[in-house]
Amino acid sequence: MTVYLHEEDLPAGLFAPGAAIAVDTETMGLITPRDRLCLVQLSDGGPDEHLVRFGPGSDYAAPNLKALLADPARDKLYHFARFDLAAIKHYLGVTAAPVYCTKTASRLVRTYTDRHGLKELVRELLGQDISKQQQSSDWGGPELSDAQKDYAASDVRYLHRLRDELDRRLVRENRAELAQACFDFLPWRAELDLAGWPEIDIFAHV
């Protein structure tokens, strides 16, 4: 497998039309309007991953990346889609849907545990270990280390296989329709976060 680093945009025609794309983001922190988008990671489930890096002061033009993310005929696979959707919408100005979220699917079918992180999912469902050592590193620096690039790529490397296994469990537990409804709502959940309701449940009684 090879990890490719691109600056400010993807090359045109990189992925086959219609193929589902695994997507992740790295930012300078967890507050989307404050902490800029530094990296978008992508995989079509093949042997290679692609990273798009944005520098300080970027205008986030990225026409090829935006067209890919906004393509309504192409599923986008995430782990914790809510955060990535908000970052992509805020900085790139597109809604990166249709959505599949492995964390949401895990919460619906792995009700025997409260451990729904990507590391735990990959270990249990796929029998592989991934490192999270670089999770809190500086993604806005002038250079990305090999360890950072491999960590970023690993966040999209397994999502296609996880979706296949989680889909089997969703069908088995008769929760596939419920999961799809949740996935369809996630872009709007991200919009609520951006609009000022990040921690408020607007459906709650109180």
pLDDT digit string, tens, across residues 45-88: 999 999 999 999 999 999 999 999 999 999 999 999 999 999 99
Residue whose C-alpha is closest to residue 68's, from 36, 86, 33, 41: 41
Low-confidence spans in the chain with pLDDT less than 50 = none
Number of domains in the chain: 1
Structural domain for 123, as ranges: 2-136+145-195
Euclidean distance between the first and the last CA atom of the chain, given in angstroms as a whole number: 51
Q: Is residue 206 part of a domain?
A: no
The predicted pLDDT at position 135 comes to: 67
Q: Is residue 205 part of a domain?
A: no
> Domain containing 181 — which CATH number?
3.30.420.10
Q: Is residue 98 part of a domain?
A: yes
- Which residue carries 């806005």 as its tokens? 140
The predicted pLDDT at position 136 comes to: 73
The pair of three-digit structure tokens given for residue 188, joined into one six-digit string? 């709007």
Q: Is residue 202 part of a domain?
A: no
CB 54 within 8 A of CB 61: no
The predicted pLDDT at position 1 comes to: 78
What is the overall mean pLDDT for the chain?
96
